[in-house]
Amino acid sequence: MRSTVGFFSLLALGCAHTPLSAEALDALDRPAFIARIEEGAGPKSLVFRDDAASYQERLKKLDWREADRRLTVKLEKGTDSERSMNRYQVADTLRAHVLAELPRSRPWTRVAPPAQVASLLESFLVDEVPANAPDVSRLAPLMVDSIIEIVVEDYGLRSKGGKAGIYLYGYAQLYKLGGGTLYRRAFFSDELRAGLEGLDPFQVAKRPSLFGQRIKSMLEAIAHQIALDLSPATRAAKKDEPPSKLEPQPSVTKPAEDDPL
C-alpha cells in the first residue's frame, strides 16, 4: 500500500469539496490547465509579527516589522548567491506535478499545450503583473472546453514558540467553459501543524533555497491529492503503487548565529 503519511501530514483538506464524477470526466474533450498566485498572496514572512518574543534577543535592536520585511524580500527574490522559488515557479510546479500524475487517457492526453496556454494568458509575466482571474476567452484558438484552475491564495513563513514553518492556502477547481463547476477542492498545508522539523528564519534569510526546497515538497503533496481527485476511475489503482519519490523529506538545519537579518 502507498505510504500516505509523508504526503498527507503536510496537507489539510478543506471542507468545501465538490468531487469529480467519472461521468463528468468522460464528457470532457480538451481541458486546459491554469495555475496562478493571487495578488498579494505572498510569499510573506509572518515570523516576527506572530512570534516576536521568541526572537527578541536575536533581533537585537532591529524592529520586528523591518525583520519581516527583509525576510519577505529574501523569500521572494533570494540573495546574490542563492535563489528562492518565485511566484511563477510555485504556480507552475503545481500545474506540472498534477499533469505528470494524471493517467495517460482521455481527456488528459488532449490537454491544451501549457506553453500556448501561458502565452495566451500572459502567465509568464506573473512576477511583473498581478495574477488576476484569467480571461479564459483568450483560449478560444486552442478549442478548449474546460479549465482546471489551481489558485494559491496565501503562502509564506510563520512561527510559533520559536519554531518557523511554511504554510499555504488555496483551491483547485474544474469547470466547463459553457458554465458549471465539475470539481472543487480547498486545501491548506502547514508545516507547524504537521509537526515537521522547524526552520530557523535567520538561516532562511542567508539560504533562501531552504524555503524553496521545503515548499517544493508541500506543492508536490498538494498536486498529488489534486491528481487523485481528477482521476476518480483510477483512485484504487493509485493506492496500490509503491511509495513515490515525491514524498517530502524535511530538511534539518543547524541553529543560526545570533545575527540580525
Give the residue numbers spanning the domain of 56: 5-239
Report the sign of the C-alpha dihedral through residues 158, 16, 173, 234, in that order.
positive
Residue 41 has a pLDDT of 92
**Cα-atom radius of gyration of the chain, to the nearest Å?**
19
Q: Answer whether residue 184 is part of any domain.
A: yes
Residue 234 has a pLDDT of 53
Q: Answer whether residue 256 is part of any domain.
A: no
Do 189 and 248 touch, CB atoms closer than 8 A?
no
- The average pLDDT across 123-150 equals 77
**Domains in the chain, number:** 1
Instruction: For residue 248, give every residue at least 6 positions away whose Cβ sits within 8 Å of its Cβ, in sequence order, or none.
Output: 6, 7, 10, 214, 217, 218, 220, 221
Q: Using one digit for the tens of pLDDT, what is the confidence trace for 42-89?
A: 999 999 999 999 999 999 999 999 999 999 999 998 888 888 888 888
Closest C-alpha among 254, 212, 200 to residue 90:
212
Q: Answer whether residue 89 is part of any domain.
A: yes
CA distance 75 to 2: 33
The number of angstroms, rounded, from the C-alpha of 156 to the middle of its chain's C-alpha atoms is: 10
Which contiguous run of DSSP H or E holds residue 236?
Answer: helix 235-239
Q: What is the dihedral of CA 158, 160, 165, 171, to 10 degrees?
A: -60
Q: Answer whether residue 257 is part of any domain.
A: no
